[in-house]
Amino acid sequence: MTTSRIPAFNDNSFDGMQHWFAELSARGLIFHPDDCPSDIISTRDDSPLFTPYECAELAEVLAAMFETFGDDVYEAVYPVFMKAAGQRLDS
């Protein structure tokens, strides 16, 4: 059995996408959805952040999100990504 740190994407809605990205962030795994997960390197030890199994999971989830929501994926991840980057959003 392969263990994964990737949260399940069970709520196929805009809010569900935000929650999924927020959960990734809480686990220290947030990344920009245009980045290939297999290219992301951990800042702790310069090793790949995701296992090959996790990369496949992420690719599947993101493909489903983009197929259903198109560019709204970026709108969902934006506040989560900016918060993780330490950037304050204007109200």
The pLDDT score that the predictor gives to residue 56 is 96
pLDDT in tens, 7-56: 999 999 999 999 999 999 999 999 999 999 999 999 889 999 999 999 99
Cα-flanking dihedrals φ and ψ of residue 48, to 5°?
-60, 135
The pLDDT score that the predictor gives to residue 37 is 95
User: Does residue 70 lie in a domain region?
Assistant: yes
User: Does residue 4 lie in a domain region?
Assistant: no
pLDDT for residue 3 is more than 90: no
Give the model's confidence band at 69: pLDDT under 50 very low, under 70 low, under 90 confident, else very high: very high
User: Does residue 53 lie in a domain region?
Assistant: yes
State which residues form the domain around 75.
Answer: 14-31+48-84
The pLDDT score that the predictor gives to residue 90 is 67
Query: Domains in the chain: how many in total?
Result: 1
The secondary structure of 33-53 as a DSSP string is TTS-GGG-B-TTTSSBSS-HH
The pLDDT score that the predictor gives to residue 85 is 81
d(CA 1, CA 44): 26
d(CA 66, CA 23): 18
d(CA 22, CA 83): 10
